[in-house]
Structure formats: structure tokens, C-alpha cells
Amino acid sequence: MLGTCPTGSRKRCPPYGERMTDSDRRARFVEEIRRGAPLSDELAHAFATVPREAFVVDGFQDRGGRWTRPGDRGFLDAVYRDDVLVTKVEGRIPISSSSQPSLMAVMIHALEVEPGMRVLEIGAGTGYNAALLATLGASVISVDVQADVAERAARCLTEAGITGVRVEHGDGYAGAPGHRFDRVIVTVGVAGLSPRWLSQLDPGGIAVVPVEHAGTHPVLAVRGSADGPVTASVVSPSGFMSASGPLTAEHQFSHPPPAASGELGVLREVKGPRFDPPLGALSYRDLWYAAGVWHRRATHAAIRGVDQNCLVLLDETRTGGAAILPDGAILTGGAEPERWAHDAADILKRWDAAGRPSMQAWQVTLALTGLPEAPIWVPASWSL
């Protein structure tokens, strides 16, 4: 998942036509975003006026793996959809993109940005997110560890006529030394927050950050100082490409990485469906989040015979464990199926007993851990 917001609320507009005017296309774009995210008048105006195509001038890869370039049939129609645009791949692995606009809107809404605020952005991407923030009146410093990505984002911002953004090539962990900010926004998945971001954040500031939890990157709104305490609330589900270096260091609270297709052995149903009808996408994510709170082996995996990635409790060999399907059925396999079935059933019972809380109901306390030379603040305890 590449800067996507798996909320289940996304609906496609009818197909865009090649004869649509630019104004019509952008109006449809804003309408589509609004179905999946809160939009103030100011943010709707930013999406309607900042030219997204100016930030993908070298083209992008569509979901089918085809590279689409300016001038290609359907280029603008694809640009002005609520979808992620992959702009850089290494081999077959996407390593930079323009995130799904509705997720951008969710995160910018949580940032509570106002005109005149100073914003630190970690992960420049195409520069489009920074352009939206600048259009809202913010002054932005955007840092990206990839030199070519930073250079291209800076060029696109200049050519699009966007002022108020400075793009720097640098280590995202370091932030922007020597500067102070009212807000921090991170556009790449991380295991935790750099204390340097918090030291550069003014008291009362907010950091909006997608932090790893059970194989995905729920967005957190974080408050606190570099020395603590640091607390957070959950904003929304999301999936991002992961950062590199100390920002993704393993720690004592880590969950296992997702299991790739073919890693898991055969899983067999041991408990039938519990939910009728099955949980929708949002509710399933809520259960998934709770599973990550209560079980350190929670993550997700591709399962044979199931047409979506599922919540799993992955055993230490990464070949077995238990899967919890959206209908509440439990599948198990591997060396200790009874153990994993018991753990999965316990999660379902606890979630039901707690009133099936949404992920937004959790309050998070973070702890300082990670590498000794480059510590990070990570989610460590939760309360409802």
C-alpha cells in the first residue's frame, strides 16, 4: 500500500471522459476526495487549484504496472482520481509516489494547519502535498533522503508557481536542524518518531505520522516533547512505503512484517463465522488495530483461497499461526494450531466485550526505544 487510505468509504465516480474540461475534471476530483475525507472550504480550494499533473511530469505507474506519461490517452483522467500515483520504482518495488489524495486530506485535516504556520514535512514525494500546505498559507520545509526525489520535487514546485516551500536533501531522522515548527507531517511509514522532530516542534504543536502497527501504518496525531511524555490519538488507517534507517528499527514493541504470498503454509478453518454480515472494511480495520494492541504477533498476510490480505497472528517460523477473517472465522496452521486458535478467539472475545471499539477510540502512550545511537518514540501502551 503506497500512501493509501483503506477506509472502505472510497467510491468511484462514473468514468471520466476525454472531453471533460479542466474545470469539470477538477470539480469531480474534489467530489471524489470528499467522499473519503473531511474537506474544509480552504482545502477543497487547494485541491481544485493546485495542478496535480505538474508534479508527475515524468509520468507514473498505474495499478496495472503500465507507465503513463503526459500526452498519453487518459493521463489527466488518471491524475485527477483519488488514487496513489507511483512515480519511482527500484526493480519492481515502488519507492516514491504521490499519495492517495483522500489520505492527504485526512492527514492535513488532522494537522490543523493555519495560515502563517511553519511545517516540517518528512518525505517530499512529488512535492504535491507540500504545495497543498503552502496553498493553505503554511511555510514548509520538506526533507527527503533521496537526492533525485528532492530535486524533482523542488523543480516541480517552482514550475507550478508554488512559493513558500523549500525542499532539502537530507536525513529525515534529523529533521531540519536550526529551525522551529508549529507542525510536523510525515509522508512515509515509520516505526516511531525521531526525538529531533519533537525538539524542533514548538510546545503545543502536532506531529501527524503514519506509525507501524500490526503490519500497517495507522496515522497518529502526536503531542509531546523530545524528552517526553509523548502521547497520541489515532487518526485513520493507512498504508505507506516504509522509511529506511533508524526510523524503521525493530524494537521490543515491534510486530512482525507482513507475510508475503506463499510464506504461510496451508491454513484450515477451526472456528466458523462469528459476524453476520461480515465486518465491513472499516470495522475489520478496527478489529485489526485492537489485535495489534493485544498481541505482538499480529500482522497481515496473503492467504491461499482468500481474495484479500487478512489479519493474522504469525508464528515465529512465519509459516503458520492463525488468521481472523472479516466474518470472524478462524483459520490455523503450523506447529501449534491450538495455541494460535486460542489467541485468535481471545482477541475476538475481548473486542466484542469492549464494545467493538474503533481505532480512533484508543489513546496511545509512546516510549523511547530503538537504536541506542538513534532512538525513536514508539507506541508502547494503549487505553480506551
Pairing of strands 230-236, 363-371: antiparallel
Task: Give the burial string for 119-154 (b: 16+ CB within 10 Å, else e).
Answer: bbbbbbbbbbbbbbbbbbebbbbbbbbbeebbebbb
Residue 207: beta bridge partners? 184, 222
Is 371 part of any domain?
Answer: no
Query: Based on the domain organization, do 232 and 284 belong to the same domain?
Result: no
Query: Based on the domain organization, do 221 and 280 belong to the same domain?
Result: no
Q: Say what the pTM is.
A: 0.92
How far is the C-alpha of 22 from the C-alpha of 331, rounded, in Å? 50
Q: What is the mean pLDDT of residues 103-123?
A: 97
- Which is it for the CA torsion 64, 70, 73, 79, positive or negative? positive
Query: Based on the domain organization, do 136 and 49 belong to the same domain?
Result: yes
Among the listed residues 129, 110, 123, the one whose alpha carbon sits nearest the alpha carbon of residue 52: 129
* Domain range enclosing 336: 268-353
Query: Based on the domain organization, do 233 and 91 belong to the same domain?
Result: yes
Is 301 part of any domain?
Answer: yes
Strand runs (DSSP E) across the chain, as ranges? 60-61, 67-68, 85-90, 93-98, 118-122, 139-144, 165-169, 181-186, 201-210, 219-224, 230-236, 268-271, 298-301, 310-314, 321-324, 330-333, 363-371, 374-383
Is 85 part of any domain?
Answer: yes
Q: Is 69 exposed, middle or buried (0-12, 13-18, 19+ CB in 10 A)?
A: exposed
25-70 pLDDT, tens digit each? 999 999 999 999 999 999 999 999 999 999 999 999 877 788 999 9
pLDDT value of position 8: 42
**What secondary structure letter does DSSP report for 15?**
P
User: Phi and psi (nearest 5°) for 252?
Assistant: -65, -15
199-254 pLDDT, tens digit each? 999 999 999 999 999 999 999 999 999 999 999 999 999 988 889 899 999 999 99
How far is the C-alpha of 117 from the C-alpha of 183, rounded, in Å? 7
What is the grid cell recorded at 5? 487510505
| Amino acid at the residue 57 | V
Is 280 part of any domain?
Answer: yes
User: Phi and psi (nearest 5°) for 186?
Assistant: -120, 130
> 4 pLDDT band (50/70/90 cuts)?
low
Is 34 part of any domain?
Answer: yes
How far is the C-alpha of 325 from the C-alpha of 337, rounded, in Å? 16
How far is the C-alpha of 22 from the C-alpha of 277, rounded, in Å? 42
Query: Based on the domain organization, do 244 and 289 belong to the same domain?
Result: no
Query: Based on the domain organization, do 224 and 160 belong to the same domain?
Result: yes
Query: Based on the domain organization, do 147 and 274 belong to the same domain?
Result: no
CB 252 within 8 A of CB 191: no
CB 346 within 8 A of CB 178: no
Query: Based on the domain organization, do 121 and 33 belong to the same domain?
Result: yes
pLDDT value of position 254: 95
Matching residue, cell 516540517:
120
CB 198 within 8 A of CB 224: yes
pLDDT value of position 92: 73
Is 360 part of any domain?
Answer: no
What is the grid cell recorded at 58? 515524468
Predicted confidence (pLDDT) at residue 369 exceeds the cutoff of 70 = yes
How far is the C-alpha of 281 from the C-alpha of 192, rounded, in Å? 26
Q: How far is CA 124 from the centre of its chain?
A: 15
**pLDDT > 70 fraction of the chain, expressed in percent and rounded:** 95
Give the CATH number, domain containing residue 165: 3.40.50.150
Is 218 part of any domain?
Answer: yes
What is the grid cell recorded at 343? 489467541
When divided into structural domains, the chain yields a total of: 2
Which active-site residues does the annotation give? Answer: 99
Give the CATH number, domain containing residue 281: 3.30.310
Query: Based on the domain organization, do 291 and 216 belong to the same domain?
Result: no
Matching residue, cell 508554488:
162
How far is the C-alpha of 109 from the C-alpha of 325, rounded, in Å? 32
Predicted confidence (pLDDT) at residue 341 exceeds the cutoff of 90 = yes
Query: Based on the domain organization, do 101 and 134 belong to the same domain?
Result: yes
Is 260 part of any domain?
Answer: no
**pLDDT > 90 fraction of the chain, expressed in percent and rounded:** 82
Query: Based on the domain organization, do 207 and 325 belong to the same domain?
Result: no
Query: Based on the domain organization, do 233 and 92 belong to the same domain?
Result: yes
Matching residue, cell 498519453:
72
